[in-house]
Each structure stands twice: as C-alpha cells, then as structure tokens.
Amino acid sequence: MVASRSPFANYFLLVLVSFCLLRFGDRINYETLTLTLPRTNTTAVSDVNDVVDREPARRNYIVRFVEYKDAEDHRAYLQGKIGLDGWEWIERRNPAAKFPTDFGVVAIDDSVRTALIEEFERLELVKDVSADLSYSRSVLAEGDDRVGAFADGKKRPGKIFSSMSYSEGECYATAISNSTISWNRQLLMQRYQVTSFFGARGLWEKGYTGAKVKMAIFDTGIRANHPHFRNIKERTNWTNEDTLNDNLGHGTFVAGVIAGQYDECLGFAPDTEIYAFRVFTDAQVSYTSWFLDAFNYAIATNMDVLNLSIGGPDYLDLPFVEKVWELTANNIIMVSAIGNDGPLYGTLNNPADQSDVIGVGGIDYGDHIASFSSRGMSTWEIPHGYGRVKPDVVAYGREIMGSSISANCKSLSGTSVASPVVAGVVCLLVSVIPEHDRKNILNPASMKQALVEGAAKLPDANMYEQGAGRVHLLESYEILKSYQPRASIFPSILDYMDCPYSWPFCRQPLYAGAMPVIFNATILNGMGVLGYVESPPTWHPSDEEGNLLSIRFTYSEVIWPWTGYLALHMQIKEEAALFSGEIEGNVTVKIYSPPAQGEKNVRRSTCVLQLKLKVVPTPPRSKRVLWDQFHSIKYPPGYIPRDSLDVRNDILDWHGDHLHTNFHIMFNMLRDAGYYVETLGSPLTCFDAHQYGTLLLVDLEDEYFKEEIQKLRDDVINTGLGLAVFAEWYNVDTMVKMRFFDDNTRSWWTPVTGGANIPALNDLLAPFGIAFGDKILNGDFSIDGEHSRYASGTDIVRFPAGGYVHAFPFMDSSESAATQNVLLTSGMAKVR
C-alpha cells in the first residue's frame, strides 16, 4: 500500500474503482490502487434462449404524421402509398377516436420491418416511425421493496420506468362520535392533514375551492360512486382492459389528495372537476400510443391541469416528449413527479425534468428532503453542457393521507404523492382567477412563476435537491392576485456566498485561467407560448471589478413552449490572476412575444439574473484537477450498463457520471482537501496540461482519437501531468450474457460497453505500458484501517518495471473466470 495517506483516501475508499495514478518526471514512479464502491443499482442478466422462444412475429409501431386528420384518412393514405405487404392498420377504439389525430398504430411483421419502416418514412406526410413503447411501473410496492423496470436482474415487460409511490399503511375511518376519538387518533390526523400545512383553509374561507377547474388525472382510474368525491365529471379508459375502475388504488389516492372532500383525508380543491384517465392496467403497464391518444383527448377537451405521477430516464422517447410539449403549448399546466431514485443525484425522471413541466420533489414533515426524492441536475445537456435546476419545487411526500378504494383513508409516500399535493395547490390557485380571465393570465409559465417565486427556501438543501423550495400556497396566491404577463429567469439569483443552496458553485470560487464554469438557468415566458430573445444577453457589473468577469452566453433564441434556457459560461480574465474578492452585477435579457388575442402591441419583458461571485487568485498547478466529462456516455441513447453487478434492480447507467451528479461526494471531498476541480467538456487535445496537476479519467465509456492518445502521452512524459484512471469492469462473455430481447422496441439490447470502456482505456494507456484485464473482481478489503468492498472492478495485467502494484485476494465473478485476457486493441500486443 502507499506509504503516506493520500488526502483523497477517505473518498477513494468509498466510491471509486480500479485506480491507477501515474506521474512522469525526472524519476518515474508508478502507484496503483484498485478500489470500488458498491453502487445502488446494477445490470440484469437475461436468459437469451428463453427470450428467443417468446419473440413475437409482429410488433406495433407508431406512425406520426405532419398534420391532424381523421384516423380513417391517415389509414387510407398509407394503404394507397405503401406497396409492400406485411403490415396492417390497428384501429384504436377509445374516446379520442371522434377527434382528428396526428398518429396511427400499425402492426409490422418482423420479416419486413426494416423495409416497411423505410417506405413509411419516405412518405411526404409521415413525420417518423417508432416502436409503440410500453410503460411499466410499480405504484404500490411496499417500503424498500418497490421496483421499477427491473427486478432481481430481470427486465420486466414494458418500457424502462422508475418506481413510484409506496404504501405506508391504512387508517380505517368509521362513523363514530367525537367522544370516542382517542388522543392518538387526533394526533394521527393532525400529522397527516397535509392541507393544513399549506394554509388551504384560508383560501377555502375566501370561497376558492377549485370550482370550474378541469383536472386530468393520468393514473389507474377511479370508481364512479366513490363517496370521497363530489365532482367526478368523466372517466375514460385508454388501456386494453374493459374497466374504468381503479383496482390498484393509486389513481384513487392521487385524486383524493387533489380533490377529496372526506374530513379525515381532505384534498386541496374539493370542487375541482375530476377527469380520470385510466392509462395503466391492473398489471401497471401502459403504451406510448395510449398516452398519445389520452394527451390528444386532454387537449381536445380543454383540460386546465394535468397530474402525471410517473417518470423514467428515457427523455429520447420523442413521440412522448414532443406530445408533452404540444400539451403544454395548448395551455395545459402539467405537474409531474420528479422520481423516487434518491438520494442519488442526476436521477430526474421524464417528463418532470422538462422545463415546461412543473417537476415536484418530496420532503418530510421536518422540511428535510426525503431520502427517496430524486435529485438534479438535468442530464439532457451532458457531456457538452451543464444541466438545469430541477426539481422546480418540493412538497410534503412522506406519509400523506389520501383516499383508498374502500372509502377509507390511507397513507402513501413518494414523489408521486408530492406531485398531486402540488397539483391540488395549482387547482386551488387556478380557481382564484375569474373563469373568463384564466386563459389570458394562467399558463404553464405563469403558474410556475407563482410557485417558484412564492416558494420558501429550505435552509439545509441545495438547488438541485429543492429547486425553489417548499411550495407556499398563500405567497403564490398573493403573486397571482396581481399578476401581469411577464418573462423571468429561474433561478433569479446565483450567489456564491449562499451555501448550501448555491452548491456546487458556492463550494469553489472562480479564478483566472480556469475552464468555463457553466450555469444553466431557465427562461419562463408568461407572456405567451411563443417568445423570442430580442437581443443578446448583457452583463452589467456593479463596479469596475466586475469587468474582470467574462461571460459567453448560449441561449434559446426561440422560446417554446413557454420556456427556454440561458447558459452563462463564466471565466475570470487573465489580468485578474492575483485578484481576490467579490464580483457583483446583473445579467439582463429582453424577451418579446406576439400580441395576445385582442391586443395590438408586442409584449415585452426584461429578465434579470443577479450574480454575486467569489474570486480567488489562480491556484498553483499542483492543486488543480481536471475532470474528463467529454468521454462519458450514459443512457439514453445506448445500453450503457451500470458499474456494479451486485445490485439487480436497475441495469442502466443514466445518472450522468458528472462531478455534480453521482460523483458529487467526490467533488466535495476534493474541495475539502484543498483541490480545485474543473470540467473538460471537449477532447483531450483542447486543454493546456501545464495548468493542471492531475487529469481524472473516471468511469469513461467513449473512445479516444489518435491525436488524444499522442497528446496525453506527451502531457504526462514531457509536462509532468499526473493521470488518475478509475476503470470499471469489461468482460465480453458477461456482456453477452447481459443482453436481452425487448419485446417493446422489438430489438436486442446489448451493452455497447462494460462498466467502462476498458479497451479504449488500454489504447490510451498503451504508451505507458499499462493495461487492464477482463476479470470482474469482488471482495472485502482494508486499507489504512478503513474497510470497504470491492465490487465489479477490473484487474491490472500489465505495468512497467519499477512500478508499484498493490493487490488483494478478490473473487473473480466474470463469465470467463477460468482465463485471464488482456483486452487487446488494434495497436497493442499482449506481453507477459
């Protein structure tokens, strides 16, 4: 083991795998340490032969058209244009059939799938063709046993989806006299009446109860005569089951939190009109086409608010994502759960991670972020950009009381419980605005403005945990009472002195010569669904020292629907290399929207983002660490397996592998040790190695250009750059074993790499005479008195003479455990 204790040691013992530290200088000294952290999720192993036997001969696909027409017209168009056989039009019998549609569902024989899809997509009126994905979720799994798309290493039928709410218990309500109510029961009801925590009664007493607000609940349905509801306007079934009732209880519970009238589990807006969309079967399965039809119906019937207590990692399911955009563009306020994948960071679920959707996280009654609540940032923008702040707001989501199927009250926990809490608040707020004026004032942006500007910031959580903070009903009410259409920026302040809220920015000051620090804010345009940036954003320093800051802006020139982004790429100028102090000022951007109906003048608004930044002199090279983000790949779009094979309930690496997502603890500990960590979002040829002491390569999946390999060799040997490599596992036999046939996408899912791309890393390290093998090692070990577990790590099979290799007796769990291979690449020769 290394003789002296590294300042990184505590963290490395906890979180990293296969560590290789090199520094070349006048004297070559190599140190190697193989460590790992058992991650919370892992890959699945499928029985390929069993799957082959179950492969269907025909699969349904969604054909999207460029315009809305009757379904029969779309069918006739395809039949008149497609010459090949092997497909048929699927008739959809649901309430949306009486309205024009922009898509059709066709069944295609597998034998002619490729040729038919190509022929469909060549048609002028066809937008695209995609598989009719199936959504699968667990809505009522008990406690920590709740599961999502994977269970015990096996993929469940359906699209990959995260788990939702889980049960805490049932409280049976019976007709009893006040004299028989025990003190325990009174305390229980005080604890669970979530409406009282938001002061809902204050608005009820003013006459605001959600009247004439059309609330669409996309869930598991509800029974028609449930006594907890006074205003069930319509129930629709979008599944392939012949029932409108809720046999699981989740849809009933969600409706109860929003609009329940029963005294022991009151909802927020009891007079709200409930429109129950049954989009999940009793087996908790749904299809994209069901959602598309239901969304279209919600648009056609002019819903005001829509609650969607579901989510998953696939933000590239374009038919679904783009339909959500269309839904909000039609002035439907969507509220959605941010996900139950906490406390991990980078685990935001779609569609709650979309800027036009109100994404809701969960807190407990002590105003602490619930352990289950997913954390930001958004990961759409990684690796080349930086994520947005999400969730938007948080609300109570632990042990919330709501209606049960049996007309009692029960408690549930999860962000799918926090979501209807906010949806109920939204319904109550909508009813504050006179009905004739609602569509002129209220929209997804203006409602989000009222929520985030009225929210109460929690003292012990950062912006990627709480968003704007806990929803504050009465503050939002005051904002809406006098609201005038305008644009704004969220968050509206970036303050490096405000910790922990402004984490990670508050943990590391700016300095000259650093890589750009990116802050990605959201533009909320309450003036209209369509807006434009009138002129480039401008930095207005409050004093002369503010001129030491250089900001490059990237932004949405067109703002649709309702939202856009404004990214600040901040750097301190070279002349400020010795400057220490604070820089303050404002960034402004002017937004305009077309005139509203009945107006003649363009609507204009100036958005302001306040900056308060801390600057220090440029640190010495030995304290500067560069993190390679450019070569990180995550799901989607490819099947990137998780790093540890120990846990079997999530097979995908979808958290971003960023210093501020799943490696946030590493970032904090490096900062605690006095290091300054910068992010490289470009190839290895794009940084000056003279400025950095160490380059960190952690859990990387991409390949390297020859120019990168040559430059890194020169950087290490000639400039003394330190190189720290954290690999994972890579074993071809195991990867083949892990592939599975997805009956939803009608395709084989095969990992595009292992936990890391070891062959690519071997290419990169070949000039140094270093190579990793293909073993998958597991075991317990102790270093310097600290105990940890090595899970799913690779081994080091080649190292230069004179180097130091430290080894532990671990178990090899790879499929090819009997042999040892060097993962050869095109330019390597195997040497023993």
Give Cα separations from 426 to 374, 402, 595 (angstroms): 22, 17, 26
- DSSP letter at 435 equals G
Catalytic residue among 102, 132, 219, 293: 219
User: Cα-Cα-Cα-Cα dihedral of 663, 664, 669, 672, to 10°?
Assistant: 150
Distance of CA 660 to the CA centre of its chain: 13
Instruction: Provide CB contacts within 8 A for 479, sequence distance 6+.
Output: 449, 450, 453, 454
Whether the Cβ atoms of residue 11 and residue 765 lie closer than 8 Å to each other: no
CA distance 267 to 254: 9
Enumerate the β-bridge partners of residue 804: 31
- The dihedrals phi and psi of 723, each to the nearest 5 degrees, come to -130, 120
**Is the torsion defined by CA of 138, 319, 563, 437 positive or negative?**
negative
User: Cα-Cα-Cα-Cα dihedral of 459, 462, 468, 471, to 10°?
Assistant: -50
| 3 state SS of 204 | helix
Enumerate the β-bridge partners of residue 237: 278
Catalytic residue among 46, 416, 605, 814: 416
CA distance 477 to 479: 5
Give Cα separations from 33 to 23, 300, 714 (angstroms): 14, 61, 24
- The dihedrals phi and psi of 323, each to the nearest 5 degrees, come to -70, -35
Let me know if 368 is a catalytic residue.
no
CA distance 504 to 511: 15
Of residues 521, 624, 524, 497, the one with CA closest to residue 570: 521
- Pairing outcome for strands 722-726 and 694-698: parallel
CA distance 51 to 627: 41
Whether the Cβ atoms of residue 625 and residue 676 lie closer than 8 Å to each other: yes
Let me know if 416 is a catalytic residue.
yes
What would the two tokens of residue 97 be? 């059939």
Distance of CA 439 to the CA centre of its chain: 30
Enumerate the β-bridge partners of residue 537: none
Enumerate the β-bridge partners of residue 817: none
What would the two tokens of residue 175 be? 């007709």
Let me know if 250 is a catalytic residue.
yes
Catalytic residue among 250, 631, 660, 664: 250
Instruction: Provide CB contacts within 8 A for 256, sequence distance 6+.
Output: 228, 229, 262, 265, 267, 402, 403, 409
Whether the Cβ atoms of residue 502 and residue 495 lie closer than 8 Å to each other: yes
Greatest Cα-to-Cα distance within the chain, rounded to the nearest angstrom: 88
CA distance 41 to 148: 11
**Is the torsion defined by CA of 403, 406, 408, 413 positive or negative?**
negative
CA distance 583 to 613: 5
Active site residues: 219, 250, 416
